[in-house]
Every structure is written in structure tokens, then in C-alpha cells.
Amino acid sequence: MILVFGHTGQVASELRAMAPVTALARDAADLADPAACAAAIHAHRPSVVINAAAYTAVDRAETEEGLATTINGDAPGAMAQACAELGIPFVHISTDYVFPGDGTAPWCPGDPVAPLGAYGRSKLAGEEAVRAAGGVHAILRTSWVVSAHGNNFVKTMLRLGAEREGLTIVADQIGGPTPARAIAVACLVVADQLAADPAKTGTYHFSGAPDTSWADFARAIFAEAGLTCAVEDIPSSAYPTPAKRPLNSRLDCSTTEAQFGISRPDWRAGLRDILYDLGHKGPTQ
């Protein structure tokens, strides 16, 4: 049995749709109570655990760092410890926000980490706790997650693009939009291979290709959806937020492909799938 932490989030929703998993909502396992998360694992006795739940309010984390760290740091650590005690694999989703976001080269799994804000620090705490538990695990860092579920950039652009003639979008943040469905598939593949070969324990990267800017991603969304909203490029400095965003979110995913045979997903194909799932009429429909 595959036990998933998370129920309505983007990746958890995709996991529930594609595999016979037991997904725990907040009322069944509140990540603000790490001991309850560990107890849930011991109670269910699964064959593998996937943590697809997290505190993801990047800006709010600046004023709620304690809560973010409990959910993103302490809870995954408790999960990993429980999995280590039971001798089962643990797959944990992390983020490019653990890096400082400078330069232009894609980040490799072993590159030095230096989060820019509270959210990144909380996710880094989770990574460190998972490793410290000493069990069989894979930390899967990803970026710019999008889907037909929850709140994300694609759904925001579809709403705003239908309401307005033009938008200003930051163009100096570069990364790989990643369909949640592809992340869910990757988690299942990684979990299966970890069970067969525990030596694959480690930290990996998984993001969509090709790398792009938020502004160009918005243009692609509007083009695919048949929206005429114009996009004006602006620098991040023109759109200040409480939490500083990394300018470079590129991830080197070559180790993931070499170890697990998983290639970077084409976000353009993923975007078409998302629009289809949302029932959005594109330019040729």
C-alpha cells in the first residue's frame, strides 16, 4: 500500500487519480503535528510513503516561519524516521528555493544551498531531517508546479487573461514549469525503484523543459488557450513581494534520468493536458 501525505494539493490530487493510494487529508494527519504523522505511518504499515503535502505560502512564510518549519521541516523528519523504523522507502518533494537563485547554470543536487527566505529555509530543514533519519529515501526537488488543481500560475493566467487586455509579468526569473501529473508519475517510479534498490537513496532534481521565463510561460498559456491578452516584460524589482524569489530556478535533472530513467517532461504538452482537464477551449477548438 502506498501512503500519501496530502489529499487536495496538486501532486496528491494527481497521485489519487492515477494509482491506488491511501491519501491522508489534514484531518487524518495534520503536518503541524509531526508526531501524528509518524503515528499514521505506523498505523497504516504501508509499503512506501510519499510526502506530497507542504506549507507553500511563500510570502506568508515570512511572518509564519515557525509554522512553516514545523510543516516543512519537522513533519517530514518525523515521517522519515517512522519509515526508517519500518524499513520502507520515503519519497519527499522539495523545491529549488533551497538554492540562492543566482547565476545562470542549472543547479545540480550537490550544489551549495542558501535559501533566500523563510519558505526555502523551512524546506531545507525538511531535507536535512529526512537525511538525518538514516532510512531509504529520495528527496525530489522540483519547480514551478502547475496543474488543473488548486492555485497555480496557469490557472491565475487563464483567469486574468480572460479579464484583461494586457498584463505585466516578470521576465528575469527563469525556470522549468513542471506539471504535477509528471511529478506524481516520477514519485511512483522513484518509490518502486527505491524499494528494489535502496542504494538509489539520495537527492534528485525533476523539472519541466524547456526552461523559460514567467513572461514567456504566460505568453504560451495565452496562445494555447486562444486568449489575446498582451504580455509586457518587467524585472522582478518592479513587482516586489514579501519573499524574494530566485532569479535562477533552473535544475539539472541528469542524475534523475541516469538513476531512474525519468526524462524531464515537456511542459508545453503538460499545458495542453491541463487546459483539456479544465475544459478550456483553445485556438483551434
Asked if 119 is an active-site residue, the reply is yes
Residue 140 three-state SS: strand
Report how far residue 139's alpha carbon sits from residue 91's, in angstroms, rounded to the nearest whole number: 6
Give the SS3 label for residue 139: strand
Of the candidates 55, 252, 93, the residue with the CA atom closest to the CA atom of residue 186? 93
Distance CA 270, CA 126 (A): 28
Sign of the torsion angle spanned by Cα atoms 113, 190, 269, 146: negative
What backbone phi and psi angles, to 5 degrees, belong to 191? -60, -45
CA distances (Å), origin 114, targets 34, 89, 144, 177, 277: 25, 27, 19, 22, 37
Those residues with Cβ within 8 angstroms of residue 10's Cβ, 6 or more apart along the chain or in another chain: 145, 146, 147, 149, 150, 152, 180
Rg (CA), the chain: 18
191 contacts 89 by C-beta, under 8 angstroms:
yes
- Helix locations, 174-241, DSSP H: 180-196, 214-225
Spot the catalytic one: 119, 204, 239, 276: 119
Cα(152)–Cα(145) distance, rounded to whole angstroms?
Answer: 7
The residues assigned a catalytic role are 119
